[in-house]
Amino acid sequence: MTHALLITADETLLDELVRLCAAAGTTPDVAADVGAALRGWSSAALVLLGADLAPEVARAAPPRRDGVHVVAWGSAPDALFRTALAVGAEGVALLPGSAEWLAAVLGDVGDVGRARGLTIGLMAGSGGAGATTFACALAQLAARGGPTVVIDADPLGPGADRVLGLEERPGVRWGELARTAGRLSARSLREGLPRYADLAVLTWATGDPRDLDVATVREVLSAARRGHDTVVVDLPRAGDPVTDDLVNRCDQVLLVVTASVTGIASAARLVARFGDRSRLRLVVRGGGAEPEAVARAVGVPLIAAMGDQRGLAEAIDLGLGPVRSRRGPLGRAAQTVLGLMPAAA
């Protein structure tokens, strides 16, 4: 499933769709009749069905599948929307107005049908708990198994790019994405972010406005999940609409808590803010109290505990990231967490 299937006998429509495919960097298969359309229907990554052949294809009743869009010029009569519904299409795209949107859809051709990336949110139970560091540790290990991205949504944090040693890498930051509109291609995001091998990061450049809006963050997270196996979100502690929306879209939210009286008290107050706590899990850092006792006091199930790691600041200063060895405290805790994560959708 690596190609788009274009189903149309309309040469003008076909020329435009081929042009959009070229702009998106994908090579399409073309079907100019219903027989050819049915032969390629199930194996294509994406199906763009021209309005001219849509009624015939609908009468042939191909099997239902994701990633089907009916495409027409100008305006569409009500009958075309009924046909799109009959064929199981996700919608009707009208050219030329939808050209940019279609180009973004075509840019994701290699990702159509893949599982949605596992999304893990990290939040500090109190200031200085080390949530950003642990988020980066999780991402470092997850990236050994497939494309992984850290989304830094905490404007007052230390900067996930600095923790990972990627601050000098070229790529897009929040400021550039905030100025875009429309559908964001998963491939464009994956290829555009600062990265090393399979590990990427999205954060702020110096001078970027630090306020994010829900629509931008939602679109970025959607593209990140389509294009990566694992998405790690570094969440701020502030209870604002952006944070609440991100939390609701995470498969699991990890609260990083220090095993101290002040850390436990702060985390317990933070937990009280959550209506649904079923996806909350606790990561306890440092000594001072038994991890299970901390979990009972906070009211959230324990998923992992870790001691303080020697040489952590030096490793980060050297641009090596927080995990130098799987056998260190961060490495062991991160492996435990990843092993207990739910499967991606």
- Read off the pLDDT of each residue in 316-329 and give the average, rounded to a whole number: 89
Neighbours of 28 (CB within 10 A): 21
**pLDDT category of residue 210 using cuts at 50, 70 and 90:** confident
pLDDT attached to residue 114 = 54
Return the percentage of the chain with pLDDT > 90, whole number. 71
Q: Is the pLDDT of residue 112 over 70?
A: no
Return the percentage of the chain with pLDDT > 70, whole number. 96
pLDDT attached to residue 104 = 82
**pLDDT category of residue 326 using cuts at 50, 70 and 90:** confident
pLDDT attached to residue 110 = 63
pLDDT attached to residue 111 = 60
pLDDT attached to residue 226 = 87
Domains and CATH numbers, the chain: 4-111 (3.40.50.2300), 118-339 (3.40.50.300)
Regarding predicted confidence, which is higher, 12 or 226?
12
pTM exceeding the 0.95 threshold for the entire prediction? no
